[in-house]
Amino acid sequence: MIEVRDLSKKYGTTTAVDRLSFTVRPGQVTGFLGPNGAGKSTTMRMMLDLDRPTTGHVLIDGERYRRLSDPLRRVGALLEARAVHGGRSVYDTLRWPARSNRIPEARVREVLELVGLAGVAHQRAKGLSLGMAQRLGIAAALLGDPPVLLFDEPVNGLDPEGILWIRNLMKDLAAEGRTVFVSSHLMSEMALTAEHLIVIGRGRLLADTTVAAFIEANSRSCVLIRTPEPDRMRAALAGVGVRVERAADGALEAYGTRAAAVGELAAAQGLTVHEVSTRQASLEEAFMRLTGEAAEHRAGGAR
Ligand SMILES: Nc1ncnc2c1ncn2[C@@H]1O[C@H](COP(=O)(O)OP(=O)(O)OP(=O)(O)O)[C@@H](O)[C@H]1O
């Protein structure tokens, strides 16, 4: 379990993280969502004591990170996959942290097998492709077989096969009862991977909810209507209590009704229609709406 309490971080005049409080529970994948610059990486760095909070604190299974003995056995993290050192081999990249955390060397071979890198164990880590470097970063996170795992944008730059592999790995790790916390700026990706969501914008908490509840609340559908008689159509719909909005391209959007009902109403009132179709608002749109104000503000020069 990860407990974030009243966590803030200021860099000069920039507030990267603004009084965040939330809990990440074991046994499920929790997605950490926010647009670029929302404060996700800063929050994750503070979880691992790599950055000092301006206010608040984080507890990993009830303790501050700096108080954990053998930290790699308590929490594993993938922050920047490219942060691999010099000319070391893939194997040695894992052997050193294993040794300093009293992890048996057999575990190095085990995690390399697990992430599919056993065949390149003696190649230089620096020469790995992005997908392989990402796998090595994940192997490092899994080295101590920790109950808590943090992944910062793990699918960035990966091909579809790599994305699917990481998605399944996270679900498997959560199914084993671990706490899995994974950041992304893509709602669509999290909808497929996570069960719970923490959404932030400009460092502030915007939502702490299940993915199912988020989808239920946000994937509103409407009926799109194109007609040369928009005013009459609006009046007819208003007459049966249907809320109508005008889309940017002049079409009408009717909420709380169905395409069949709109068609029947048009026929009954002798209205000409050119199109009646159902439109599903995507989760990505819901996410943009939720975080939009934050993103706009930043574009206005807060960075
Ligand atoms: N070391 C730093 N010094 C100054 N400002 C920083 C520093 N690290 C982050 N920031 C600022 O804090 C804010 C949050 O950044 P952060 O990297 O945590 O966001 P993020 O959600 O992880 O975004 P991204 O997806 O782009 O990585 C940004 O405005 C960023 O410019």
Sequence length of the chain is 303
Ligand 1 neighbour 80 (Cβ under 6 A): no
Q: Which atom of ligand 1 lies nearest, measured to the CA of 12?
A: 4
Q: Which atom of ligand 1 lies nearest, measured to the CA of 42?
A: 18
* pTM for this model (two decimals): 0.81
The rounded Å distance from CA 205 to ligand 1 centre is 16
The CATH class of the 2-217 domain is alpha beta
**Residues 115-125: what's their mean pLDDT?**
91
**What b/e readout covers 140-166, taking b as 16+ CB neighbours within 10 angstroms?**
bbbbbebbbbbbbbbbeebeeebbebb
- What is the radius of gyration, based on Cα positions, of the chain? 24
CA distances from 75 to 28, 146, 179, 201 (A): 16, 5, 9, 26
pLDDT of res. 302? 40
- In the block, tokens 């249907």 appear at 242
Q: Give the residue with greater pLDDT, 69 vs 8.
A: 8
Is it the case that residue 85 has pLDDT exceeding 80?
A: no
- Listed in sequence order, the residues at least 6 apart from 296 whose beta carbon sits closer than 8 Å to its beta carbon are none
Can you give the residue ranges of every domain in the chain? 2-217, 221-280
**What b/e readout covers 11-40, taking b as 16+ CB neighbours within 10 angstroms?**
eeeebbbbebebebebebbbbbbbbebbbb
Confidence of residue 28 (pLDDT cuts 50, 70, 90): very high
pLDDT in tens, 210-269: 988 887 777 678 899 999 999 999 999 999 999 999 988 889 999 989 999 999 999 999
Q: Which of 13, 18, 42, 298 to mutate to test the pocket of ligand 1 (most atoms within 8 A of CB)?
A: 42
Is it the case that residue 86 has pLDDT exceeding 70?
A: no
Ligand 1 neighbour 34 (Cβ under 6 A): yes
pLDDT of res. 287? 82
Q: Which atom of ligand 1 lies nearest, measured to the CA of 38?
A: 21
CA 174 to chain centre: 15
pLDDT of res. 4? 98
pLDDT in tens, 146-195: 999 999 999 887 888 889 999 999 999 999 999 999 999 888 889 899 99
pLDDT in tens, 37-65: 899 999 999 999 999 999 999 999 999 99
The rounded Å distance from CA 147 to ligand 1 centre is 27
- Both tokens of 252, joined, read 């009408």
**Residues 116-121: what's their mean pLDDT?**
92
Q: Which atom of ligand 1 lies nearest, measured to the CA of 41?
A: 22
Cβ(8)–Cβ(15) under 8 Å? Answer: yes
**Residues 278-303: what's their mean pLDDT?**
66
Alpha helices (H) in 1-104, listed in sequence order = 40-47, 71-74, 90-100
Q: Which of 9, 14, 32, 51 to mutate to test the pocket of ligand 1 (most atoms within 8 A of CB)?
A: 14
Cβ(72)–Cβ(17) under 8 Å? Answer: no
Which architecture does CATH list for 221-280?
2-Layer Sandwich (3.30)
pLDDT of res. 80? 72
- Both tokens of 137, joined, read 């970063």
